[in-house]
């Protein structure tokens, strides 16, 4: 049999691949810099290098597993041959389990038709962008933030990036947002936050909600298109040391009219490969997201929906799982955080924000501009080559102002990996400044 590969264009004929074949969108899509860095690190590890991989926002099965109750319910659903199409917006059991879960865990009494289920948070994020925005309309996000540049590109939105500061936990302040909201259609916030691992406070949230409500009050008088707040809370159950997850609707119930929650089991149940997410939104928006899902076919697999509904309906099992899961994540973050705090006290050029939430830690390694470190990438490569420490800079999350800040992600490393890496990082830092 002759290989069909002979009919496909090769790298020698780039015009055939680009100008003569692809859409403008396909030609201009960029790959995630986070994944580019992560794949390069994976290759090094596969080639035998001793590297602590803090790059991926994922879990390794050697470190963290999904809840056993969730796994058993999914397996049982497959065994019962629950393998046909689910409804495009989710099974009724899952939607009512989500309704109860939001009421009991978040104090938010949404109707069932506010929920639309999909295969993870990504499809509902994309669908929300698609359903709210026309080309050229403005989306405001803080920097750093996860993936909003790509969603803006996909829908042709104008992306306005608001810088943040370490003192505010890299959350935007109402003051920094205010000048940009007059023209905006969508503001996107995330807490606990990827990449910083920080959490928005109730006061920060209240100030931002006041702005959104005032702006929509004005628009309701003029008849202009409304301003929505998308609140990505995929890490909401991963909060440490008594910190409380706050939501726009819990601080100001009237924000329900303007808020879209995006959520998933991916991060909080260590279940990134299972693909169950959802949106909770004003029902007329959830209905449009459902319509889009019908065409995209991006629904969550039926057995996983059944398993999620059964697991969420056992709050004690959920809490028991989370207690252990959170402890494992916190222990890893704390080891790193304590090490960087002590080096800061010793005068090394580092800074760190103690763990607050998610699976991430914000660390500053202030070497850029020193001899031998002409740019940020030289610092990242130095850590990788000299300390076997693989991290992602905030610039990969669209942040051009918080130089020297890196994300450490701990879902794929063991406590022992971290303990082994810490002296290597310290030695590399000492040698960089000596
Ligand atoms: C803030 C945030 N939202 C959404 C997602 C995507 O979640 P999912 O895997 O459910 O699509 C991620 C994944 O890294 C994330 O960090």
Q: Scanning the structure block, which residue is given the tokens 């003192």?
A: 167
Average pLDDT of span 323-351: 98
Q: CA–CA separation, 262 vs 132, rounded Å?
A: 14
- Residue 382 pLDDT greater than 80, yes or no: yes
Tens digits of per-residue pLDDT, 225-245? 999 999 999 999 999 999 999
Q: Per-residue DSSP letters for 96-165?
A: HHHHHHHHHHH-----GGGEEEESSHHHHHHHHHHHH--TT-EEEEEES-SSHHHHHHHHTPEEEEEE--
Q: CA–CA separation, 211 vs 207, rounded Å?
A: 7
User: Is the Cβ atom of 234 under 6 angstroms away from ligand 1?
Assistant: yes
For residue 157, the CA-to-ligand 1 centroid distance in Å is 20
Give the pLDDT band (50/70/90) at residue 97. Answer: very high
Give the pLDDT band (50/70/90) at residue 255. Answer: very high
User: Is the Cβ atom of 147 under 6 angstroms away from ligand 1?
Assistant: no
Average pLDDT of span 104-128: 98
- Residue 12 pLDDT greater than 80, yes or no: no
- Residue 15 pLDDT greater than 90, yes or no: no
- Residue 104 pLDDT greater than 80, yes or no: yes
Phi and psi, residue 138, nearest 5°? -95, 130
Same fold? 26-49+320-433, 68-315: no
For residue 34, the CA-to-ligand 1 centroid distance in Å is 13
Q: Candidates 3.40.640.10, 3.40.190.150, 3.30.1330.30, 3.30.420.40; correct CATH number of 68-315? A: 3.40.640.10
CB atoms within 10 A of CB 368: 17
Closest alpha carbon to 94 in 308, 343, 289: 308
Average pLDDT of span 111-116: 98
Question: In the prediction, which pLDDT does 20 show?
Answer: 84
- Residue 31 pLDDT greater than 90, yes or no: no
Class of the CATH domain delimited by 26-49+320-433:
alpha beta
Q: Which atom of ligand 1 lies at the shortest distance from residue 265's CA? A: 10
Question: Percent of the chain having pLDDT more than 70?
Answer: 100
Q: Which atom of ligand 1 lies at the shortest distance from residue 125's CA? A: 4
Tens digits of per-residue pLDDT, 205-230? 999 999 999 999 999 999 999 999 99
Nearest residue (by CA) to ligand 1, atom 4, is 121
Average pLDDT of span 402-414: 97
DSSP designation for 256: G
Give the pLDDT band (50/70/90) at residue 149. Answer: very high
Q: Which atom of ligand 1 lies at the shortest distance from residue 272's CA? A: 9
Q: CA–CA separation, 170 vs 173, rounded Å?
A: 9
Domain boundaries, the chain: 26-49+320-433, 68-315
Q: Scanning the structure block, which residue is given the tokens 């990036």?
A: 161
Lowest-pLDDT range of 22-36, 128-142, 266-280, 404-418: 22-36
């Amino acid at each position: 049999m002759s290989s069909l590969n002979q009919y496909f264009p090769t790298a020698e004929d780039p015009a055939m691949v680009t100008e003569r074949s692809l859409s403008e969108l396909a030609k201009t899509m960029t790959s995630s810099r986070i994944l580019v860095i992560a794949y390069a690190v994976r290759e090094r590890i596969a080639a035998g290098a001793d590297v602590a991989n803090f790059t991926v926002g994922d879990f390794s099965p050697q470190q963290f597993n999904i809840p056993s109750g969730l796994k058993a319910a999914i397996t049982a659903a497959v065994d019962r041959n629950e393998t046909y199409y689910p409804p495009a917006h989710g099974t009724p059991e899952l939607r009512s389990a989500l309704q109860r879960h939001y009421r009991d865990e978040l104090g938010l009494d949404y109707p069932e038709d506010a929920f639309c289920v999909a295969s993870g948070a990504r499809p509902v994020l994309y669908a929300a962008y698609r359903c709210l925005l026309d080309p050229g309309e403005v989306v405001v996000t803080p920097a750093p933030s996860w993936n909003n540049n790509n969603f803006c590109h996909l829908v042709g939105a104008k992306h306005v990036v608001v810088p943040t500061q370490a003192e505010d936990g890299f959350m935007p302040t109402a003051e920094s947002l205010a000048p940009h909201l007059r023209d905006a259609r969508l503001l996107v916030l995330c807490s606990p936050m990827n990449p910083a691992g920080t959490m928005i406070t109730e006061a920060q949230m209240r100030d931002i909600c006041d702005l959104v409500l005032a702006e929509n009050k004005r628009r309701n008088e003029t008849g202009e298109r409304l301003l929505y707040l998308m609140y990505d809370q995929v890490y909401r159950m991963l909060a440490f040391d008594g910190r409380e997850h706050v939501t726009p609707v819990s601080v100001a119930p009237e924000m329900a009219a303007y808020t879209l929650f995006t959520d998933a089991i991916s991060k909080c149940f260590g279940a990134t490969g299972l693909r169950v997410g959802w949106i909770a939104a004003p029902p007329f928006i959830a209905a449009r997201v459902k319509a889009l899902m019908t065409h995209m076919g991006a629904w969550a697999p039926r057995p996983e929906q059944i398993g999620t509904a059964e697991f969420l309906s056992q709050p004690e099992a959920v809490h028991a799982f989370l207690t252990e899961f959170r402890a494992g994540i916190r222990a890893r973050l704390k080891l790193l955080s304590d090490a960087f705090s002590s080096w800061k006290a010793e005068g090394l050029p580092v800074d760190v924000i103690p763990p607050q939430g998610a699976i991430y830690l914000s660390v500053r390694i202030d070497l850029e501009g020193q001899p031998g470190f002409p740019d940020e990438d030289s610092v990242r490569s130095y850590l990788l080559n000299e300390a076997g420490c693989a991290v992602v800079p905030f610039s990969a999350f669209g942040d051009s102002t918080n130089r020297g800040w890196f994300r450490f992600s701990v879902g794929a490393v063991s406590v022992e990996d971290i303990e082994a890496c810490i002296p290597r990082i310290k030695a590399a830092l000492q040698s960089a400044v000596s």
